[in-house]
């Protein structure tokens, strides 16, 4: 599995961010081909001190190639272009292959 994570610093207008993200942006994301699962939260906390992030998003793909194809697709390009409409604090995008652990 390959995971894409988006970290959102504090926006200028948190209420606009929340509303736009849920009603407009997430429906765009859900159209991305190859998307296996996704989740998000506005309740980001730090273990110590203040968190530098307002929100987080996680997406799962079968592998790096599927993620790359999804981001390059028309739906992926539309979702990426939409970020400027709500994330006035910017967005940090990271991705990585997931290694399973044994408990």
What pLDDT sits at residue 81? Answer: 97
In a domain, 101, yes or no: no
Residue 98 lies in a domain: no
pLDDT of residue 102: 84
Q: Is a pLDDT exceeding 90 seen at residue 93?
A: yes
Structural domain for 60, as ranges: 11-90
Q: Residue 44: its pLDDT value, please? A: 96
Q: Locate 87 and state its tokens.
A: 């994330």
- The Cβ-side half-sphere exposure at 70, using a 13 Å CA radius, reads 23
> Does position 40 have pLDDT exceeding 90, yes or no?
yes
User: Which is it for strands 92-97 and 2-8: parallel, antiparallel or unpaired?
Assistant: antiparallel
- Per-residue model confidence (pLDDT) at position 38: 98
Asked if 4 and 99 count as a contact pair (C-beta separation under 8 A), the reply is: no
Give domain status of residue 80, yes or no.
yes
**How would you class 68 by CB atoms within 10 Å of its CB: exposed for 0-12, middle for 13-18, buried for 19 or more?**
middle
- Distance CA(33)–CA(95), nearest Å, equals 17
CATH of the domain at 62: 3.30.70.100
What is the pLDDT averaged over residues 3-27?
98
Number of domains comprising the chain: 1
**Predicted pLDDT of residue 101:** 87
Residue 22 lies in a domain: yes
> Which pLDDT band, with edges at 50, 70 and 90, does 18 fall under?
very high
43 is a domain residue: yes
Q: Is residue 32 part of a domain?
A: yes
């Amino acid at each position: 599995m390959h995971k894409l994570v988006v970290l959102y610093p504090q926006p200028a207008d948190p209420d606009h961010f929340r509303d736009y993200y849920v009603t407009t942006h997430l429906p765009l994301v859900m159209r991305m081909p190859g998307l296996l699962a996704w989740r998000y939260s506005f309740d980001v906390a730090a273990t110590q001190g203040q968190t530098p992030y307002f929100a987080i998003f996680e997406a799962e793909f079968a592998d790096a190639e599927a993620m790359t194809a999804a981001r390059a697709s028309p739906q992926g390009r539309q979702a990426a272009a939409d970020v400027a409409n709500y994330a006035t604090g910017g967005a940090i995008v990271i991705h990585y292959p997931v290694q399973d652990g044994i408990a």
